[in-house]
Amino acid sequence: MKIGLIGAGNMGGAIYRALVQKFSPEDIFVCDHSQEKLDALGVTHGFTKVTDMLPQVDVVLLGVKPQTFAEIHLDLSDKLVISIMAGISLGSIAAKTGAARVVRSMPNLPAQVGQGLTGWVANENVTGQEKDLVQEIFTSFGKEIEVNEEAMVDVITALSGCGPAYFFYLTELLQEKALTLGLSSDQARIIAETTFVGAAHLLEKNTKTAKEWREAVSSKGGVTVAALSHLQKQKFDVIFDQAIDAAIRRSQELKQ
């Protein structure tokens, strides 16, 4: 199978780098307006015009911005189309490109370091063998979760798509607090980043769940419990729950 990526931007570039590690570089084609972006990626089969690339590929990965997609007119009727575009439905992609076989996905930012999480849904025409290929593509830059209903892509968007921002926000708050408590800006940054990244590495070891780790560091009557009890009393769980619901609603509103 020859895979053609349209758009070598932030996400497309990261996906290209992952794909050429996993598949034969001979099978990976990329198109971007910018020859500079193609050169920076060291692309072997690069194109600046999408119509030059399409005849060579079986699978098309749509990595352009949703607003750009509205302006492109492509006939992808004989391709397996995999979109990473936020908010463009399976039906809109099929209607706009003539493709019968469509996958809609939502990768997240850590895909850029090979640690992404991609939620995806396929329409009824995508075969089991094609789904295996889709999984291989997504696991080249992290983990993947297939969902059966398209509405779940909005849910995944609010959870793992936005998830890195929740983590960055907490990191930012810890850093700001360290500053107000008298640490230097370098020290504050080191404290916040090392603490959260270190904790994330512990989770990655998979020996305990997040809840188990939290309980392990929360001795009764101790310092951590003082902070966590305050969060619980102030209903941080309810606020966080509502925040995710707001993201789901926004994802549904923006869907085209």
Ligand X SMILES: NC(=O)c1ccc[n+]([C@@H]2O[C@H](COP(=O)([O-])OP(=O)(O)OC[C@H]3O[C@@H](n4cnc5c(N)ncnc54)[C@H](OP(=O)(O)O)[C@@H]3O)[C@@H](O)[C@H]2O)c1
Segment interacting with ligand X, rule: CB under 6 A, options 89-97, 101-109, 187-195, 196-204:
101-109
Q: Give the one residue of 16, 18, 19, 32 binding ligand X; rule: CB under 6 A.
A: 32
3-state class percentages of the chain: helix first, strand second, coil last, to nearest 5: 55, 15, 30
Segment interacting with ligand X, rule: CB under 6 A, options 83-91, 147-155, 178-186, 218-226:
83-91
108 is annotated as contributing to ligand binding: no
Alpha-carbon distance values, 153 to 76, 100, 143, 209 (Å): 23, 19, 15, 25
DSSP 3-state assignment of 119? strand
Q: Which of 85-100 are b and which e, b meaning 16 or more Cβ less than 10 Å from the residue's Cβ?
A: bbbbbbebbbebbebb
Q: Give the one residue of 23, 58, 66, 166 binding ligand X; rule: CB under 6 A.
A: 66
Segment interacting with ligand X, rule: CB under 6 A, options 62-70, 209-217, 220-228, 233-241:
62-70
- Other Cβ atoms less than 10 A from the Cβ of 195: the count is 15
Q: How far is the CB of 127 from ligand X (least distance, A)?
A: 25
Q: Give the one residue of 27, 58, 68, 152 binding ligand X; rule: CB under 6 A.
A: 68
Q: Give the one residue of 50, 190, 225, 228 binding ligand X; rule: CB under 6 A.
A: 50
User: Token pair of 245, please?
Assistant: 């619901």
The answer to whether 17 contacts ligand X (rule: CB under 6 A) is no
Locus of tokens 């079986």 = 58
Q: Give the one residue of 35, 56, 65, 227 binding ligand X; rule: CB under 6 A.
A: 65
